[in-house]
Structure 1
Amino acid sequence: MSHSSGSFTDAFRQPKAVWAVAFACVISFMGIGLVDPILPSLSSQLNASPSQVTLLFTSYLVVTAVAMLVTGWVSSRIGAKRTLIAGLVLIVAFAALAGFSGSIAEIVGFRAGWGLGNALFIATSLAVIVGSASGGFGGAIILYEAALGVGIASGPLLGGLLGNISWRGPFFGVAVLMLIALVATIVLVPATPAPQTKSSIREPITALRHRSLATTSVTGLLYNWAFFTILGYAPFLMGLSALKLGAVFFAWGILVAIFAVFGAPMLKARFGTTHTLYGALSGMAITCLLIGIFSDNQAVVIGATIASGIVVGLNNTLVTTAVMSIAPVERSVASATYGFVRFIGGGLAPFAAGKLVEHFNAHVPFVLGAVTALLAAAVLFTVRRDIDAADVEETQPQSHERADAERAVTDVPADESEAVLAHEALVEDRRYASRR
């Protein structure tokens, strides 16, 4: 069995603590697509323009992005479990407050607080899952992306069902579910002491000095611009009720989950990470362009939006895996850095789309989204060698030369010169993985 298939098989054989965090991830990621089905009703019932309503994405994701910079600093001082709990408490509180709001400005403000909790939770949860999961790093990423896919798929469905009753329903629904996740985390996740080494608040920013991490993060930013242009503004073009919008984005989310969990590992094993991502990013550009050209055709907008779930699932898994594989820093720092950069793109795109429609027309933001997706592929091309080297290392984790080298530098050799040669072989073997 290949490494990739082994990772997939083992991804779902996890301790209870990992499942508790994964469940909380599902509920957390519900918050991304939860508001999609109620965007038009919020606009009409609260007398807000589409660009004002899209601020629900902007405040949530931009605050999430900026707060990512301090998650490692917080976690290194109070421990991972307490950081998870703090994030969940904030999400419960601000989701409930959003439900009690009386204006779009209040909801936007409370979504910002929700984003702060989300940042504390997301960055720490990925580190906890990667650190605690059985089945290796690849299996942990698959499980994390599975939680993301299920959350993104179920969020719009829940939003549509509850939003059909009242626009307040989805906010209260998330508050209740997150409260359940909070209890599960408290009970099932073992206590984690604060690390002996305290992280610097500057680490996620200084990590951008490493070309491989910075370049891949920019790829995520550009891709997320296209992704959230569709997620944040396409609902206004469909002319559907909250319940029907929920069904559309549920179908979209199901494709996200399927291709994140099943499609990405399979295509990566056959074509490699870079070639699969070139195809996925090109597919994102095509779907954005279709919506841009036929923005007044309901059937095309709905079909293209649902189909975009295929490439979203592939990109979510493979870009995250690439970042975590080639970043020459600790994975917790890499996660915070990548989250900061990519969520900036996701947060600004919906608001920019609303403004572009107001000043030009509905074609422009989606054509721009197609351009950013193609730019993401171009940026990715500049770091392809690092990603290809990581793929090779993953599929051949224990070559004879590397195994001999590791034994020679960890054991006491009989011949000192043999140890020197072995050490040099090990350094050469790891050269691409540690490239800055």
Structure 2
Amino acid sequence: MSSSTASQTQAEASAAHPPKPAAGMLSQPKAVWAVVFASIIAFMGLGLVDPILPAIAEKLHASHSDVTLLFTSYNAVMAIAMLITGVISSRLGVKGTLLAGIVIIAIFSALGGLSSGIWSLVWLRGGWGLGNALFVATALSAIVSLSRTGVARSIILFEVAVGLGISVGPLLGGELGAISWRGPFFGVAGLMVLAFLLIAILMPKPAVTAARKPKASLADPFRALRFRALRTFGIAAALYNFGFFTLLVYAALVLGKLGLDEHQLGYVFLGWGLMLAFTSVFMAPKLQQRYGTITSMLVQLLLFAATLFVMAIWTTDKAVLITAVIIAGAFLGNNNTLITTAVMNAAPVERPTASAAYSFLRFIGGAIAPFLAGKLAEWFNPHMPFIVGGAFVVAAVIYLAVNRKHLSHVDAVETGH
């Protein structure tokens, strides 16, 4: 009797996802942890430059709108490169694509540290974005494929890596940037060498392979965008990314003007990233189960928009801005997990293809937003970037609400899962 009960329990544990709580999340092959660690380092690149933006502007004699181009070039190249990640991955394999992405990031971040002008640095950040696109698009599908805990929990694990990378990036950038603005660039290059070794050693080739699948084509992401649900999530992400990158880039410049040095900016955005990571893991799944994916997304985006409007009113109040930046991390962490999970179930296409199509649209918003924020401050006043960023987030909410009937299957899939 007891042996039959034990075998029943074992069968349920291996076949069903719901019975496995937090312990299941940590029960992963070494290859998964290697990809997660490398993802943390890769996502450091997003926030790494944040604390040193004022220093770069000063040392390279650049305007605020000039230094925002470090994010514009990075995101623009990422957006375009997302369209070719499937083609490259289907030929090099997942492991080969991850390693190629890591090598490109290491080379361009090291060259960035050697740069002597703002425009050469902007172009080199674009090259960094190419490496990041290859790595990020492939890392998500690698974690999902290699994980033992199902799609939803694999995505949460990926979002944890995103949150930790985004939070540690500004901290590392602040500490190394206090020595020299070049320090963070060399730091990432060195860490990428470690990531390369981990992936090369711990991730076996046969674990994830596209050998039995037909080669991907450049048209695949565009075909995927014919599905209205996937297109809707992509456009909504492009809109809310205006708010995301206004917070990430422009808020750092404003806080620098208000007297925060590299160390202090690093700690502010560390708090933001930790909130993002915490809510990604612990809050987003509960919101999804209780209220559904779409309703939860709409509420989180509205709360984020409200935070940006608060920042628009109290733009010169250091304490309000710092508090708002950290609190915004909670809303963004929830939304990132919710929308990434939804995208994976939005259309009947391969997950890497869905991720590439969605990311293409998402990073277009991320490319325009930083430069626009810098220009709005120059053309109008320091409050305007936050107002416009908040308005774009509200537009994302309206767009999702209008198209909600085309997204109902996402909630159905999640409930069934």
Is 1:202 equivalent to 2:219 in the alignment? yes
Is 1:269 equivalent to 2:285 in the alignment? no
Q: Is the 8 A contact 1:326 1:386 kept in 2?
A: no
Match of 2:116 among 78, 93, 102: 102
Give per-residue Cα distances to partners, 1:71-125, cap 9 Å, x unaligned: 0001111211111111000001001100111111111111111000000000011
Structure 2 letter corresponding to 1:195: A
**3-state SS of 1:6 partner:** coil
Please state how far the C-alpha of 1:396 moved relative to its aligned partner. Answer: 3.0
Name the CA distance, whole Å, in 2 between partners of 1:341 and 1:8: 33
Q: Which residue of 1 aligns with 2:247?
A: 230
Q: Is the 8 A contact 1:273 1:387 kept in 2?
A: no
Please state how far the C-alpha of 1:387 moved relative to its aligned partner. Answer: 4.1
| Superposition map of 1:247-266 within 5 A | 247-266=267-286
**3-state SS of 2:61 partner:** coil
Q: Which residue of 1 aligns with 2:389?
A: 369
Q: Which residue of 1 aligns with 2:3?
A: none
The alignment-based identity, stated in percent, is 50
| Superposition map of 1:20-419 within 5 A | 20-192=34-206, 193-196=209-212, 197-238=214-255, 239=258, 240-397=260-417
Please state how far the C-alpha of 1:263 moved relative to its aligned partner. Answer: 1.0
TM-score in terms of structure 2 length: 0.92
**3-state SS of 1:304 partner:** helix
Q: Is the 8 A contact 1:222 1:375 kept in 2?
A: yes
Give per-residue Cα distances to partners, 1:322-344, cap 9 Å, x unaligned: 11112221111000011111011
Instruction: State the Cα RMSD in Å.
Output: 1.6
Name the CA distance, whole Å, in 2 between partners of 1:366 and 1:315: 19
Structure with bigger gyration radius:
1
Structure 2 letter corresponding to 1:379: Y
Name the CA distance, whole Å, in 1 between partners of 2:34 and 2:223: 32
Give per-residue Cα distances to partners, 1:172-217, cap 9 Å, x unaligned: 1111111100110000111144434111111112211111110111
Name the CA distance, whole Å, in 2 between partners of 1:5 and 1:52: 51
Q: Is the 8 A contact 1:90 1:117 kept in 2?
A: yes
What stretches of structure 1 move > 6 A for 4+ residues in a row?
none
Structure 1 letter corresponding to 2:73: S
Q: Is the 8 A contact 1:35 1:156 kept in 2?
A: yes
Q: Is the 8 A contact 1:221 1:344 kept in 2?
A: yes
Q: Is the 8 A contact 1:3 1:395 kept in 2?
A: no
Give per-residue Cα distances to partners, 1:13-39, cap 9 Å, x unaligned: 110011101110000001000000000
Name the CA distance, whole Å, in 1 between partners of 2:249 and 2:60: 18
Name the CA distance, whole Å, in 2 between partners of 1:315 and 1:42: 31
TM-score in terms of structure 1 length: 0.88
Structure 2 letter corresponding to 1:72: G
Please state how far the C-alpha of 1:169 moved relative to its aligned partner. Answer: 0.7
Q: Is the 8 A contact 1:12 1:143 kept in 2?
A: no
Name the CA distance, whole Å, in 2 between partners of 1:89 and 1:35: 19
Q: What is the count of residue pairs matched by the alignment?
A: 397
Q: Is the 8 A contact 2:17 2:150 kept in 1?
A: no
- Ranges in structure 2 where 5+ consecutive residues have no aligned partner: 1-12
Give per-residue Cα distances to partners, 1:248-290, cap 9 Å, x unaligned: 0001111000011111011111111112111110011011111
Structure 2 letter corresponding to 1:19: W
Please state how far the C-alpha of 1:133 moved relative to its aligned partner. Answer: 0.6
Name the CA distance, whole Å, in 1 between partners of 2:63 and 2:22: 44
Please state how far the C-alpha of 1:9 moved relative to its aligned partner. Answer: 4.4
- Ranges in structure 1 where 5+ consecutive residues have no aligned partner: 398-436
Q: Decide whether aligned partners of structure 1 residues 133 and 169 sit closer, same or farther in structure 2, where only a CA change above 3 A counts.
A: same
Structure 2 letter corresponding to 1:257: A
Name the CA distance, whole Å, in 2 between partners of 1:201 and 1:186: 27
